[in-house]
Chains A and B, each alone.
Chain A
Amino acid sequence: MRPLDALAKVCGDVRPGDPADGVLGVEPAVVAAPRNVAEAADVMRVAAENGLAVVPRGAETRLDWGAPPERCDLLVDTHRLDGLIEHAAGDLVATVQAGLPMERFGEMLAGRGQRLALDVPLPGSTVGGTIAAGVAGPLRSLYGTPRNLVIGLTIVRADGQIARSGGKVVKNVAGYDLGRLFCGSFGTLGLIVEATFRLHPVPSSTVHVARSVNGPQDAHDTVQRILHSAVAPSAVEYISPGTVAVLLEGVPDGVAARARKTAELLGEGAEITDTAPDGWGQYPDGTTLLDVTAPPPALRDLLTILGPDTAATWSGSGHGHVALPADTSPGEVAEIVTRLRNTLSGHRGGAVVRYAPQKVRDEIDLWGPVPALTLMRRVKDQFDPRHRLSPGRFTGGI
């Protein structure tokens, strides 16, 4: 039996792939969209029986991140897996399916005065994709990344087995935390089908306080004043070409008093606004996007290397994004990436290229040095011994 026919027996939405389904140009032979976890497990089992290479797809917002798959026989589309399983508002916990768009999830929670404390930089992105890419925005300063907020995860393994870890309670140390392992694993360990999150109350009051800074030293010093103060920001951001912005959340009286103090710390010219400054929570604009790990003391060096004209955002949690425009030559990109890696390694940081034009990809190593690569390969071999899950998409050819 052809794989397509075998898949059609277990899943109601199976069709041949077409060029529009391509993952960085690699066209899948078949696209399957399971409608529940059991169907997803059947699809994965049939894929295993037929030796198919599988790439999961959410809303395609980050499908161009990482390397192209070495092959893609089956694209598993999660858009029909979009249910809210449970919102236990009194417990500040919710369980959802992987294909649910983040914004729709946010609307469901907002009705009960709650939220998942993760920004959504790319409209339409799904819960599963957010976990698989391990992404977060400015709120990461206070709330962390998906690894801090996923408390339970259900995956389908390469062999079609359904496996759960964690649970529905925030405090839980029973067994290995596979939720954290799957955050940022880019579809190479298994298919994420359901996740349980810790939620937070929506703050009753929110303001931004921002000031223009004058060069790398001023940016560094301004960020340091905020970090070591008692204003308890929810986010501290640098946004090119030269703004330091602070998000404060809480009760109205508290936020008002903290905003005044924050404005004093930022210095002359600081503005308090109800809305976020331009560029807040968005990836900088360009055809090449870099993720940089740069702890607060590295901000000065980071901005010095980039110069005033490079689009960049950076969070006080020590993580930033750099975008390079289309007219940057592959050689120039390679030089910037090398300089960033050399300098940031001195701060225990690094730089990873998320996406780039093909001609740039040909010139650079997307990932940079990966200290624990041997262990990563061994974990991959356990979860996916035949290397069928998003093969070649990840660091070290995983």
Chain B
Amino acid sequence: MDARLAALADRLRGLLGAEQVITDPVRLRTYECDGLTSHRSTPAIVVLPDTAEQVAAIVRECAAAGVPYVARGSGTGLSGGALPHADGVLVVTSRMRRILEIDIPGQRAVVEPGVINLDVTRAVRPYGYYFAPDPSSQQICSVGGNVAENSGGAHCLKYGFTAHHVLACEIVTPDGELVELTADGPGYDLLGVFVGAEGTLGITTKITVRLTRVPETVQTLLAAFDSIEAGGGAVSAIIAAGVVPAAIEMMDALSIEAAEAAVRCEYPPGAGAVLIVELDGPEPEVAAQFAEVERLCRDAGAFEIRVAADDAERALIWKGRKSAFAAVGRISPAYIVQDGVIPRTALPRVLARIDALSAESGVRVANVFHAGDGNLHPLVLFDDAVPGAEQRAEEVSGAILDLCIEHGGSITGEHGVGVDKSRYMPRMFTDADLDTMQMVRCGFDPAGLCNPGKVFPTPRLCGEVPGVRRGAHPFEGKADLF
């Protein structure tokens, strides 16, 4: 470690105590990656603050020393958003796990950033409430991470994303100041842009979340189809009928095979696709719409429909879907989890193209998706023992993103851009678009120390006055960016 970082570590020990500052190389290795293990970088220093004031003091020290820092919650992110900086500080929020306030009359709770997503729901469930964002990792992911990534989940089709369930955040700005951002206060909606900024605008230290009333009833069915096309037809018919289900999930034959091998979910044999449709809300409402959904599935060619009679049967239906990512490990030594979005109506066309891509390249692709909102999670399978296989899989994975963009979709629906997809951003946005987004970053973090190198392929020079050049720029000729 160089002298500057060593001096910073000493100052941080002075702030936090020696136990909460890690510089031992072996212990640092624990933090070298998040859920995206293909990118690794060991941080110079890891700090484990207890309080917002400590986080602010850490940021001030980093700013004074010109050292970059990255915040990390539970490290479950899938785009490398919490990938540490090798010459920087990793601020881990795992000791900030207090639920500070539960306000049922106001339908809100105030939590620290390290609080586990599902723990919010556990704490308020006795009052008939829950925290709606439900990413698959909700048993371990942190609310602070949800804020950074604007996390969704299977039920965001009806209930929206984290941005819709966060009313206020106390943040530490890159200046090291504690400031509250609110959704409904006077002035700019800075909260709106902070949520989903992947930790590049500051560190969240306190989150006021909206609590959602537990629905009176939940009904879940599993419908089996011969083909993905038939399943896709059912999805379109349900949406066209004006039904807004809580969730519509689809799996193709290969992902069903994997789930079967892993958890014996016993989905109908011979299915080319299964659809899981969940409705929730007031009983009479759900009863009427559920009957219609069953009919629409049958009309679309479902050869078997199973309706969950109770929570246990519902869990069984969801078991295959929820285990799908991990299950693919049973049928392939390695795989890439892709996250792309297309307009729902483009589903049949895009899936046919993915099939063709797979056939041409010989790379197998298992498809699992949030069909209701067109969010695809293709799992691109490869054998990491075969030379060149990973690269071929990467190529197919990238080609799938191109398909998403070509059809008017997005390169990420919920996993974020992070380090993984910043290179794809120019395929979706122009230089001017990216430059404009980075104006916000320059406003918050002109020094570029807060989670640098994420989201954007090239940083913007913050001193630059937009659109007005003062003399020759050293990087002139490289569009509006440097």
Task: Please tell me if the beta carbons of A178 and B436 are within 8 angstroms of each other in the complex.
Answer: yes
Task: Please tell me if the beta carbons of A254 and B412 are within 8 angstroms of each other in the complex.
Answer: no
Tell whether A232 is near chain B: CB-to-CB under 8 Å.
yes
Choose one: B428, B439, B440, B468; the contact of A174 (CB below 8 Å): B428
Tell whether B106 is near chain A: CB-to-CB under 8 Å.
yes
B164: nearest chain-A partner, CB-CB: A148
B116-133 to A contact mask, C-beta < 8 Å, 1/0: 000000000000100000
Task: Please tell me if the beta carbons of B190 and A376 are within 8 angstroms of each other in the complex.
Answer: yes
Tell whether B373 is near chain A: CB-to-CB under 8 Å.
yes
A368 to B143, CA, bound (A): 30
> Which of the 9-residue segments A27-35, A210-218, A223-231 touches chain B?
A223-231
Task: Please tell me if the beta carbons of A370 and B410 are within 8 angstroms of each other in the complex.
Answer: no
A90 to B466, CA, bound (A): 39
> Which of the 9-residue segments B24-32, B149-157, B312-320, B327-335 touches chain A?
B149-157
Tell whether A238 is near chain B: CB-to-CB under 8 Å.
no
**Nearest-CB distance from A261 to chain B (Å)?**
8
**Nearest-CB distance from B59 to chain A (Å)?**
14
**B 377-406 contacts with A by CB, 8 A:** none
A195 to B236, CA, bound (A): 24
Tell whether B344 is near chain A: CB-to-CB under 8 Å.
yes
B197: nearest chain-A partner, CB-CB: A176
Task: Please tell me if the beta carbons of A200 and B244 are within 8 angstroms of each other in the complex.
Answer: yes
**Nearest-CB distance from B277 to chain A (Å)?**
16
**Nearest-CB distance from B182 to chain A (Å)?**
8
Tell whether A85 is near chain B: CB-to-CB under 8 Å.
no
Task: Please tell me if the beta carbons of B189 and A147 are within 8 angstroms of each other in the complex.
Answer: yes
Central interface residue in B430, B439, B466, by most chain A CB within 10 Å: B439
Task: Please tell me if the beta carbons of B105 and A378 are within 8 angstroms of each other in the complex.
Answer: no
Task: Please tell me if the beta carbons of B193 and A258 are within 8 angstroms of each other in the complex.
Answer: no
B280: nearest chain-A partner, CB-CB: A232
Q: Please indicate the chain B residues that have their CB under 8 angstroms from the CB of A164 in the complex.
A: 429-430, 433
**A 303-334 contacts with B by CB, 8 A:** 318-319
Tell whether B14 is near chain A: CB-to-CB under 8 Å.
no
Task: Please tell me if the beta carbons of A370 and B433 are within 8 angstroms of each other in the complex.
Answer: no
Task: Please tell me if the beta carbons of B187 and A395 are within 8 angstroms of each other in the complex.
Answer: yes
Task: Please tell me if the beta carbons of B408 and A169 are within 8 angstroms of each other in the complex.
Answer: yes
Known contacts A90-B236, A181-B189, A382 near B429 by CB under 8 Å: no
A383 to B444, CA, bound (A): 13
**A 183-200 contacts with B by CB, 8 A:** 183-185, 189, 200
Choose one: B240, B285, B373, B433; the contact of A169 (CB below 8 Å): B373
Tell whether A350 is near chain B: CB-to-CB under 8 Å.
yes
**Nearest-CB distance from A282 to chain B (Å)?**
20
Choose one: B187, B195, B287, B342; the contact of A376 (CB below 8 Å): B187
Tell whether A103 is near chain B: CB-to-CB under 8 Å.
no
Choose one: A171, A224, A348, A372; the contact of B414 (CB below 8 Å): A171
> Which of the 9-residue segments B92-100, B173-181, B266-274 touches chain A?
B173-181
Tell whether B471 is near chain A: CB-to-CB under 8 Å.
no
B411-448 to A contact mask, C-beta < 8 Å, 1/0: 11111110001000100111011111101111110000
Task: Please tell me if the beta carbons of B282 and A257 are within 8 angstroms of each other in the complex.
Answer: yes
A171 to B196, CA, bound (A): 12
B residues adjacent to A (C-beta < 8 A): 103-108, 128, 149-150, 152, 156, 160-161, 163-164, 168, 173, 177, 179-190, 192-193, 195-197, 208, 213, 215-216, 236, 239-240, 242-244, 281-289, 341-345, 370, 373-375, 408-417, 421, 425, 428-430, 432-437, 439-444, 455, 462, 465-468
14 A-B residue pairs with CB within 8 Å: A48-B467, A88-B343, A144-B160, A158-B466, A164-B430, A171-B156, A177-B192, A183-B192, A250-B282, A253-B288, A254-B285, A254-B286, A296-B105, A319-B184
Apart from A170-B373, A171-B373, 4 more pairs, CB < 8 Å: A161-B436, A169-B409, A203-B242, A297-B106
